């Protein structure tokens, strides 16, 4: 009788290994809450975004219509997109490029005024990055800001085939929490 149980056990184990390999199952937990929100947001809002393609580095990102773009800004960003809602209220999207690998731990340490709310490793659709959710005071002194940052290492530069890293940031006022899905959509759709 024990032999029958062992045969059944091995058959089930073999079927599981076969299913895992044939169907390329990597994450049995399913999509994250964020990726589901991004997918739903994308289905309803994709037409409200423009594409930005950087010829020098070869990355692309989508940003909302109504944001104005600034390439190679004084703040050091490779590209940034900004929407000014009133004199104290703005939303900012940016991409910073570095010629070395970026450690999310070092990034959080450098941002001393920022409070880390969540940190997640994201690996889906052929890309992997660290997603950080931070909170910081608004420089204008009015309220708090939510900052979503994707840290992408191992990007390839089209011009010289060298590797670079990118920090993709979305900054929104905490009072506009409803724009969280837009911010996540921006970070999740970065391609390098």
Domain boundaries along the sequence of the chain: 29-188
Q: How confident is the model at residue 33 (pLDDT cuts 50, 70, 90)?
A: low
Which of the residue ranges 19-23, 37-41, 68-72, 165-169 would you say has the lowest mean pLDDT?
19-23
Which of the residue ranges 13-27, 77-91, 110-124 would you say has the lowest mean pLDDT?
13-27
Q: Which two tokens stand for residue 30?
A: 């399913």
Give the C-alpha separation, 56 to 79, whole Å. 12
The answer on pLDDT for 3 being more than 70 is no
More confident residue, 151 or 110: 151
Task: Give CA separation, 101 vs 107, 154, 158, in Å.
Answer: 11, 7, 17
Residue 127's DSSP bridge partners are: 124
Q: What is the per-residue pLDDT for 9?
A: 40
Q: Which two tokens stand for residue 28?
A: 């049995």
The answer on pLDDT for 75 being more than 70 is no
pTM: 0.74
Q: Tell me: domain 29-188, CATH 3.40.1000.10, correct?
A: yes
């Amino acid at each position: 009788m024990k032999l029958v149980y062992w045969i059944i056990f091995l058959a089930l184990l073999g079927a599981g290994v076969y299913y895992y390999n044939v169907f390329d199952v990597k994450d049995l937990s399913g999509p994250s809450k964020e990726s589901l929100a991004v997918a739903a947001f994308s289905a309803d809002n994709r037409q409200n975004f423009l594409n930005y393609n950087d010829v020098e580095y070869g990355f692309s990102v989508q940003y909302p219509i109504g944001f104005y773009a600034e390439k190679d800004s004084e703040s050091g960003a490779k590209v940034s997109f900004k929407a000014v809602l009133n004199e104290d209220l703005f939303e900012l999207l940016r991409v910073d490029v570095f010629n070395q690998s970026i450690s999310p731990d070092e990034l959080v340490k450098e941002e001393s005024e920022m409070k880390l709310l969540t940190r997640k490793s994201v690996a889906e659709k052929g890309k992997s990055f660290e997603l950080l959710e931070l909170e910081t005071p608004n420089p204008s002194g009015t309220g708090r800001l939510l900052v979503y940052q994707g840290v992408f290492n191992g990007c390839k530069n089209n011009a010289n085939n060298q590797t670079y890293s990118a920090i993709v940031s979305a900054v929104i006022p905490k009072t506009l929490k409803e724009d969280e899905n837009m911010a996540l959509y921006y970070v999740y759709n970065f391609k390098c």
